[in-house]
Structure 1
C-alpha cells in the first residue's frame, strides 16, 4: 500500500475511533454533569489539573522519538521504556507529596484525596507509551481506534454506575481509572515487543537530548489550558472553575474530534515521507489546507451556538458558561492549526524553539488571567485567548524555517476559510436570533443546518480546490480512488 493510501486509510480509521469515542464521552459527560453538578466538576478540575499535566508528560513525550525518521532497534525501544518508567515513578511520587499543600492552596480538603486517587494513571500511561508509539509508527490505526472506543464505553459504565450509587465526585475518578486500565490492556495485547534490560548509553543520550525539549513543549501545552483552572479556582472559586472546565471540555472534545485523526496519522507519515526520500512539505500543505477548511467554520458555528449547545447537553444551569465557550471557540481554531505546526516539528525532531515559544505564551496568558480576574470570567477568557493570538505569527515563522515553505504562504492558507466562516456565522446568527422561546434542540439543529449549507455553498464558489481535496481524502480512505504519492515528492 502506498504511503498516500496508508495516510488516508489511517485518517479514516482514526476518524471512526475518535468520533465514536467522543460521542460516548459526550453522552457520558452530559449524564454526569446532570447527576453531579458544577461543584463536583470544579473540584475534579482543580485536582486533575496537576494529574493531567503529569500524564501529558509521559503520554506523547519521550516516546515520540520512536516516530522520527530514525530506525528502531530493541535497545532503542528498551531505553525509551525504562526512561518513561523512571519519569512516571518520579511524577507519581511528586503528586503524592504535593497533594496536601495543593489542598491547602485551594482551601478544599477533598482535593488531596482526589489527587492521590488519580495519580496512579500517570504510571499506567508511562508504561503504555512505547506500545502506542509502535502502533502509530506501523500505522496500525485500526487497533488504536478500537482501543479508544472500548475504553470510553467501559469508563462510561463505571462512571455512571458510581454516580448513580452515590459516590459523587469519585464517580469521575472511577471513570478515569477504568478508561486507562482498558487502554493499557488493549495496547500491550496488540504488539509483540516486550521490554528487556539491554539499554544503550548512546540511545539514552539521544533520547534525553530530544526528551528535555519535548517535555518542555508538552509541559507548556498542558499548562496553557490548565493554568486557568488553577487561577480561577484559587481567585474565583470552584463554581467559576466549573464553568470554565465544562466550556473547555466542549472545546477540547470538538478539537479532539477534528484534529486527532490528522495529527495522529500525520506525524508518522511526515517522518515516513522523509525516510523514503520524499517532500514532507507537500503533505504538510495538504494537511494545513484540510484542517483550516474544516476546523475554522466548525468553531465559528460553536461560538454562535454556544448557549443552545450547553443547555441541550448539560442543562439550563450551565447557561452562564456560554460567553466562556464562545471565546474559547476562537482558541479552538488556534489549537487545531497549531497542532499541525507542532506535529511537523516533532516529526522533524526540531522542537526546541517551539517549546520556548509555547512557554512564552503560557507566561503571557497567565499574566493576562491574573490581571483580569477581578473583572469576571468573560473578561478573563478574552484576555487568555488574546495572549495566544498575539504570538501566533512567530509560530508561522518557526514552521517556515523547518518546512522550507514561506510563512506568508502558510498563513494565507487560512485567510479564505476565516472570511467564509465569518460570513457563515453572521448568517447563522441572523437565523437563530428571532427564535427566542423555541426549544433549544430546534435552535441548535436549525442553526447547524444553516451553517453547514451556507459554508458549503460559499466554499463551492470560493474554495472548490479544498472541497476536491477533502473528497479525495474521503474516497481514498474508504478504499476508492488514488492517493497522492508523497513518498515520491508528488504534491497532492
Structure 2
C-alpha cells in the first residue's frame, strides 16, 4: 500500500475515532455540566497544568523521536518504555508530597487528595506510550481507535454514575482515571508489542538531541497554554475558572482536537517524505486546506451562535462563559496554521528552530499577562489572540528557512475557507436579527441549518481544493466498492 493510501486510510480511521469519540464525549460533558457546578469543574481546572506537564514529561519527547527516527528498532522502543515508566513513578511521588503546597497555593483544601489520586494517570499513560507511538509510526490507527472506543463507555459510566451519587469533582477524577486505565488495558490486548528485559542507554542517547528539544519546547508550550488556568484560579475564583474551563473545552474540541487529528497522521507521513520536496509541499498544502475546510466554519459559526449554543446545550447557568468562548473562537482560527507549520519543522528534523520560536512566542505571552491581567479575563484572552496571530507569522518565518511553503502560499490555501465561513457567518447573523426574541432552541436550530446550507452550497459552487479532494476520495471509495461487489457477484 502506497503512502497516500496509508495516509488516507489512517485519516479515515482517526477521524472516525475523533469525531465519534468527541460526539460521545460531548454528550457526556453536557450531562456532567448539568449535574455538576462550575466550581466543580474549576477545581479540576486548577490541576490541569500539573497533569498535562506531567504527561509530557512521561513521554519526554522520545515518542516523537521514535516516530522521526528512520531506523528505530525494538531496542529503541524498549528504552523509551522503561524511561517513561521511571519518570511516571517519580512524578507520582513528587505530586504526593507537593500536594499540600498546591492546596495552599489555591487556598482549596479539597485539592490535597484530588492531586494525589489524579497523579496515577501518569503511570497508566506511561504504560501505553510506546504502543501508541509504534501505531502512529506505522500509520496503523485501527487498534488505537478501537482501544479508545472500548474504554470510553466505561469511563462515561463511572463519571456520570459518581455525579448522580453527588461525588462532585471526584466524578471528573473517576472518569479520567477509568479512561486511562481501561484504554491502557485494551491497547495491550489489541497490540502485541512487549518490552524486552533489557535497557539501552545508547538508544536514549541517540534520540536525546531531537527528543530533548521537542520536550523542552513542548513543556514551554504546555505551561504557557495552560497558565491562564493558574492565573484565573488564583486571582479570581474557582467558579470563574469553571466558566473559562467550559469555554476552553469547546475551543479544544473544535480547534485543537480536529487539528491534532490531521497532525497525528500527517507527521509520520511528512517524516517519510522529508527528503522529497515536491511531495512534502503537496502534503503541507493539503493539510492546511483540509484543516481550514473543517475547522473554519465550525469556529466562525460558533462565534455567531455561542449564546444560543451554550444556553440550549449546557443550560443558562453556563451563559457567563459565552464571552470567553467568542474570543477563543477567533484565537482558534490560527491554531491549525501554527500546528501545521510546527509539524513541518519537526518532520524536517529542525527541533532547534521549533524550540527557538516557542521561546519567543512565550516571551510575548508573558508580556501579555503583565499588561492585561489587571483588566479581567476578557482582556487576557484578547491579548492571547494577538499573540496567536504573531505566533503564526513567526512560525511561517522559521518554516521558510527550511522549506518553500511561504506566507503567501499558506494564506492563499486558507483564504477560500475563511471567505466561505465569513459568508456563512453573515447568513447566521441575519437569522439572529430576524428571529430576535423567539424561542432560543428554535433560533439555534435554524441558524445551524442556514449556516450548513450556505457553506455546503459555497463549496459546491466554488469547489475549493479540499472539497475536490474529498469528492475524489469519495468517488474512489465508491469505485472500489462497486468493483468489490462485482467480483463477489
Classify the TM-score, shorter chain: over 0.9
Q: What do residues 203-261 of structure 1 show as CA deviations (whole Å, max 9, x unaligned)?
A: 22122212211112221332233111100111111111111100000111112552233
Distance in 2 separating the partners of 1:417 and 1:276: 28
Task: Answer with 254-263 or 265-274: which moved more.
Answer: 254-263
SS class of match (1:108): coil
Structure 2 runs not aligned, ≥5 long: 482-489
2:409 is matched with 409
Distance in 2 separating the partners of 1:292 and 1:201: 42
2:487 is matched with none
2:273 is matched with 273
Q: TM-score, normalised by structure 2?
A: 0.92
Distance in 2 separating the partners of 1:448 and 1:480: 34
2:123 is matched with 123
1:467 is matched with 467
| Within-5 A mapping of 1:388-399 | 388-399=388-399
Distance in 1 separating the partners of 2:477 and 2:25: 25
2:138 is matched with 138
Q: What do residues 98-136 of structure 1 show as CA deviations (whole Å, max 9, x unaligned)?
A: 321121111111122211110010122122100111111
| Within-5 A mapping of 1:144-163 | 144-163=144-163
Q: TM-score, normalised by structure 1?
A: 0.92
| Within-5 A mapping of 1:27-66 | 27-59=27-59, 61-66=61-66
2:377 is matched with 377
Task: Answer with 391-400 or 449-458: which moved more.
Answer: 449-458
Task: Answer with 277-286 or 308-317: which moved more.
Answer: 277-286
2:484 is matched with none
Q: Alignment RMSD, CA only? A: 2.2
- Partners of 2:42 and 2:242 within 8 A in 1: yes
Distance in 2 separating the partners of 1:331 and 1:60: 28
Structure 1 runs not aligned, ≥5 long: 482-492
Task: Answer with 102-111 or 80-89: which moved more.
Answer: 80-89
Distance in 2 separating the partners of 1:359 and 1:92: 28
Kindly tell me the number of residue pairs found equivalent between the two proteins.
481
In the alignment, structure 1 residue 222 sits paired with structure 2 residue 212: no
| Within-5 A mapping of 1:101-250 | 101-250=101-250
Task: Answer with 261-270 or 466-475: which moved more.
Answer: 466-475
Q: What do residues 38-82 of structure 1 show as CA deviations (whole Å, max 9, x unaligned)?
A: 000001110232112211333583111121251221211122112
Distance in 1 separating the partners of 2:476 and 2:97: 51
How far residue 287 of structure 1 moved from its aligned partner, in angstroms, is 1.3
Distance in 2 separating the partners of 1:255 and 1:474: 24
Q: What do residues 4-37 of structure 1 show as CA deviations (whole Å, max 9, x unaligned)?
A: 1111111111111111111111111111111111
| Within-5 A mapping of 1:2-13 | 2-13=2-13
Distance in 2 separating the partners of 1:168 and 1:180: 20
- Partners of 2:77 and 2:195 within 8 A in 1: yes
Distance in 1 separating the partners of 2:239 and 2:186: 37
SS class of match (1:359): helix
Distance in 2 separating the partners of 1:279 and 1:79: 33
Distance in 1 separating the partners of 2:93 and 2:349: 30
SS class of match (1:414): helix
In the alignment, structure 1 residue 428 sits paired with structure 2 residue 413: no
2:305 is matched with 305
- Partners of 1:229 and 1:241 within 8 A in 2: yes
Distance in 2 separating the partners of 1:141 and 1:147: 10
- Distance of aligned partners of 1:451 and 1:23 in 2 relative to their CA distance in 1, 3 Å threshold: same
Task: Answer with 263-272 or 457-466: which moved more.
Answer: 457-466
How far residue 476 of structure 1 moved from its aligned partner, in angstroms, is 5.0
- Partners of 2:103 and 2:109 within 8 A in 1: yes
Distance in 2 separating the partners of 1:356 and 1:474: 41
Distance in 2 separating the partners of 1:442 and 1:335: 32
How far residue 142 of structure 1 moved from its aligned partner, in angstroms, is 1.3
1:488 is matched with none
SS class of match (1:403): coil
2:258 is matched with 258
SS class of match (1:437): coil
Q: What do residues 130-187 of structure 1 show as CA deviations (whole Å, max 9, x unaligned)?
A: 0111111222211111222222221110000111112111000000001001111122
How far residue 275 of structure 1 moved from its aligned partner, in angstroms, is 7.7
Distance in 2 separating the partners of 1:96 and 1:395: 38
Distance in 2 separating the partners of 1:477 and 1:40: 46
- Distance of aligned partners of 1:459 and 1:46 in 2 relative to their CA distance in 1, 3 Å threshold: same
In the alignment, structure 1 residue 455 sits paired with structure 2 residue 452: no
Task: Answer with 238-247 or 146-155: which moved more.
Answer: 146-155
